[in-house]
Structure 1
């Protein structure tokens, strides 16, 4: 069923023979002229057609007896469809936007209604923004739905119309992934969240209407499981800190794990991205890479009073360069491609997790520990010691208390000093 859109009265569409520039063959290009009333603006969009003055008049202004040759009649009908298509594209864009009009006008026929086509466009956009890991997540989501279509024996599993993705389709996908693929609820969520984002893009771009949007209250609710707690206790922190690693690899992993813990639970990627310019007078300031990509305004920097222990780790592992733009730990370089940086960061995180597990097991602490546990342990320590979810939210660089509540005015310098001291409270010998 075709969606009917009311005419956008703010926009006028007509065909225009552009005589401002004559081509080498003596003809003029035919363009689509789009005029917007409020604010007043006019733009021209090219077509594949070109005419001399006489040819153009012969098509649109036939002789008085009204008899046009068959070829001219067909051409006039063809140009009428060009204008009609441009009119329909304009009517779908409310409020009207010239950039969006151009994109939709020249999009490949039939592609716009394909969910996987929008996946491909967005994946390419993410790659151009160097968001390699997020692009990979979208690839995995897309492939999961292709596999589902293959399982259902759909004749063209690599095509998926937006109208096909309704509540029933999503419930069937969830059942298929749990019962046939023996996947988990959290994995179902990791595949359906990118799909919802694709639908949001389509809705914003007027590719679909709200009536076919399948997510939300009363529709399909993306499942989520309660997260496994990944924090360790104060006593366990004490054991790990004072224990001697059995190998050089365990020593390195331990140092970087505690550096993460002491620096507000900074994740591996942000550690690798630290530059010398991020540290001034013992204060480390940085923006989370995740926040920079997802938020374009009001990006909140995180400020950390470096403890003596953190400074010692920097001294121990830094590349000893004084250039402001050089990376502190030298795990990546600006000569690397985005994929190479992503690979190096993944290897860094894997190294820490692998050798921290072995180290923890050797001293009787939970052997499931990983690089990410430093972040959770920091958050738990701050919340338990100060009872403030808002402080933890700011330290961790979360956007809200739901991820930790609203906005927070900021710390006083005294509070920053307190937080630095709190993180190292476990060092007191337990009697």
Structure 2
């Protein structure tokens, strides 16, 4: 695209000093922009700039304007493909001879609905990013805006995720400008973390959040799409090949029959909560802790995943779980005595506390469960690490190896796409592989 510059005198409106503003004009075939300089000249003086012999004052102004035009053309050459917004940000906003253009904003802003909302004091104390001051156009400025928005929406886990990502980038090269986050920067970041032993899965989480930061900055008109470093032939967010965590039938039987200490109800509760998750379609622990008695309908628990509730407002995806005898036993033993419709089935969280407090209580509860699962794992001699999440993987894999269709497993897990479900499913067990391999020898029987 051809871009042309010129210096001209805007004679549309005379000032009280009988002078007119001098402007830099930048134009393409489809658009023209005018940038105001700090200089004012009369029509006669502006015409004299073309003369050979002029006074020292006008000669100085002519040299300044010639230098401005040359610098603008050099900046345009570096800005390929040319975009006015990028040119303004990098050149106009910083040149001493030009008046800053105020039509664009360079700082992230919360949506209007959240402008007057106050952040929970607990969150401000925990997340340093909420009380920091960030320069305009920096990654910290956008990350801060996103973290605030997520907290005000009650999405505390996601807010914590973004906060952790920012800390990793800030530790790498500081709070850099968004325009400094290039493909090279992201590759260096990835290599640096790999050298420190950080998994590709974790790096993928961090860089995926940085991608969301860029999308937010483009949406808010802070940067242009030309500066976007992600995508085809640019930086690709890595995805780790996680180790499948499902238990085998034999390991699952050991867990089911594990003899808890009768004098330690906490150990028994940890085991029962894990089994409830497994029998309950691999229900996520967050969803489990928010189940209410009104979710029970004629022998089934029907609920919507908290993770996808916002995305599926128009078409909610409901998960229906048949209540097995084991699940009923666990609810009867550990369930709430108050069985009113809006009471939680498991009395772990206080719904009257703020969402940040509920998030912290949920984390502490899951941490306690995982500690006891680790103890059981060692006692049973199981080498695989058993966590609350393993119940979900075990449910999906047991169903798959039993011949259940992936489509049904997708519905049971509440996934929006089959791809997500397939990522959950572990490889077939060794016995199944041996059985399949035997099919290759059937020709011998003939």
Query: What TM-score comes out, normalization by structure 1 length?
Result: 0.66
**Shift in Å at residue 84 of structure 1?**
6.7
SS at match of 1:183: coil
SS at match of 1:403: helix
Q: 1:54 is matched with which residue?
A: none
1:163 aligned to 2:179?
Answer: yes
1:116 aligned to 2:140?
Answer: yes
Q: 1:176 is matched with which residue?
A: 192
Asked if the contact 2:201/2:242 (under 8 Å) is kept, the reply is: no
SS at match of 1:323: coil
Distance 2:177 2:351 in 1: 41
1:248 aligned to 2:251?
Answer: no
**Shift in Å at residue 327 of structure 1?**
1.0
Distance 2:223 2:369 in 1: 45
**Shift in Å at residue 355 of structure 1?**
0.9
Distance 2:421 2:399 in 1: 12
- Unpaired runs of at least 5, structure 2: 5-11, 22-35, 38-97, 106-110, 116-133, 423-446
Matches within 5 A, 1:198-217: 198-217=213-232
Asked if the contact 2:339/2:345 (under 8 Å) is kept, the reply is: no
Alignment CA distance shift 1:318-1:209 (3 Å) = same
Asked if the contact 1:177/1:188 (under 8 Å) is kept, the reply is: yes
Alignment CA distance shift 1:84-1:352 (3 Å) = closer
Distance 1:359 1:393 in 2: 30
**Shift in Å at residue 209 of structure 1?**
2.5
1:188 aligned to 2:203?
Answer: yes
Could you tell which deviates more after superposition, 249-258 or 353-362? 353-362
Query: What TM-score comes out, normalization by structure 2 length?
Result: 0.64
SS at match of 2:402: helix
Could you tell which deviates more after superposition, 340-349 or 258-267? 340-349
1:264 aligned to 2:288?
Answer: no
Matches within 5 A, 1:271-420: 271-366=288-383, 368-404=385-421
Distance 2:102 2:370 in 1: 56
Could you tell which deviates more after superposition, 308-317 or 234-243? 234-243
**Shift in Å at residue 380 of structure 1?**
0.5
Distance 2:380 2:202 in 1: 33
Matches within 5 A, 1:96-111: none
SS at match of 1:331: coil
Q: Identify which of 57, 68, 71 aligns with 2:16.
A: 68
Asked if the contact 2:245/2:384 (under 8 Å) is kept, the reply is: no
**Shift in Å at residue 249 of structure 1?**
2.5
SS at match of 1:271: helix
Distance 1:169 1:250 in 2: 47
- Unpaired runs of at least 5, structure 1: 5-60, 90-98, 104-109, 150-156, 406-431
**Shift in Å at residue 321 of structure 1?**
0.9
SS at match of 2:307: helix
- Deviation string, structure 1 residues 45-94 (Cα, Å, up to 9, x no partner): xxxxxxxxxxxxxxxx99xxx66269xx9xxx99xx999744x67xxxxx
**Shift in Å at residue 126 of structure 1?**
0.4
Asked if the contact 1:327/1:333 (under 8 Å) is kept, the reply is: no
Asked if the contact 1:276/1:322 (under 8 Å) is kept, the reply is: yes
Distance 1:69 1:295 in 2: 63
Q: 1:231 is matched with which residue?
A: 246
- Deviation string, structure 1 residues 289-319 (Cα, Å, up to 9, x no partner): 1111444332201011111111111111111
Asked if the contact 1:231/1:373 (under 8 Å) is kept, the reply is: yes
Distance 2:293 2:186 in 1: 48
